[in-house]
Amino acid sequence: MKAAHLHTLSENMAARRPAALLTWLDSGEQQIIRRDEIGADTPAALAEALEDGFRTDKSRTVEIDGRAVFINIYNPPLRLIIVGAVHIAQALAPMAEQAGYDVVIVDPRTAFATVQRFERERLDTRWPDVALPEIGLDTRTALVALTHDPKLDDPALHLAVASPAFYVGALGSTRTHAKRVERLREGGMSEEGIARISAPVGLAIGAVGPVEIAVSILAEMTATLRGKKPELG
């Protein structure tokens, strides 16, 4: 590998840009392709293998036009932004961390966002419309809005659906969500944007209590990330 390739991969990782190193195994020739560079001029079979690799986070050797190429996927770490330092957040944060997510909890209400309830490094006490653009909502990021408070949840949802975040969820019953949809629509959100929001949040597993709700959220995030339609057995 050329030192220049090593630098480029490392810079992409630091900037949270998913990239892949292709090694053509017959010639040893290598090239880097970023996920946002896959386009019309990328051979269809290669584009498909790359997209699948980025989505599943799996590297593999594939045949393209009779040539074996090793696609090594360099995805940045997963990230979860939780809006609302609520009880479910206390259960979800450590679980998501175990599943490989960097977790940030955004809540300006300092009565909720306390170091007694959360680890200091996970807390961001700015308002969502200030915090989120800086934290960044990219293809490796999930956002869940858990406050029930339109002042906090709605701005976060507007930003999240307009971003390439792979998962956007909002807590609340079907009725609460219907009211929320009305507000979001009035606020200018498109039907396509509204359809991006998983609400009521999480898989329907009959969850009771914050911990089980956290399980259902993490399960739905995983299914969405891996492009797998969940089935209830």
Partner 1 sequence: MSTVKGSVLETARNWTDEGRKVAIATVVSTWGSAPQPTGSQLVIDADGNFEGSVSGGCVEGDVIVASEDAINSGKPEMLEFGVDNETAWRAGLACGGRIRIYVEPITRD
Nearest CA-CA partner of 167 in 146, 198, 133? 198
β-partners of residue 73 are 20
The CA distance from 148 to 152, in Å, is 8
Using the minimum distance from each CB to partner 1, give the nearer residue, 12 or 216. Answer: 12
The interface mask with partner 1, positions 87-106, x = CB under 8 A, is -------------x------
Instruction: Please enumerate in sequence order all residues whose Cβ is within 8 A of that of 150, keeping only pairs 6 or more positions apart, or say none.
Output: 180, 183
With CB under 8 A as the contact rule, the residue among 22, 32, 49, 78 that binds partner 1 is 78
72 binds partner 1, rule: CB under 8 A: yes
The interface mask with partner 1, positions 19-38, x = CB under 8 A, is ----x-x--x----------
Cα atoms in the 13 Å half-sphere on the side-chain side of 190:
7
Cβ atoms of 38 and 52 closer than 8 Å: no
Using the minimum distance from each CB to partner 1, give the nearer residue, 61 or 190. Answer: 61
64 binds partner 1, rule: CB under 8 A: no
With CB under 8 A as the contact rule, the residue among 9, 85, 157, 213 that binds partner 1 is 9
Structure tokens at 133: 């653009």
DSSP, collapsed to helix, strand or coil, labels residue 39 as coil
15 binds partner 1, rule: CB under 8 A: no
Q: Which residues bind partner 1 (CB under 8 A)?
A: 1-3, 6-7, 9-10, 13, 23, 25, 28, 57-61, 70, 72-78, 100
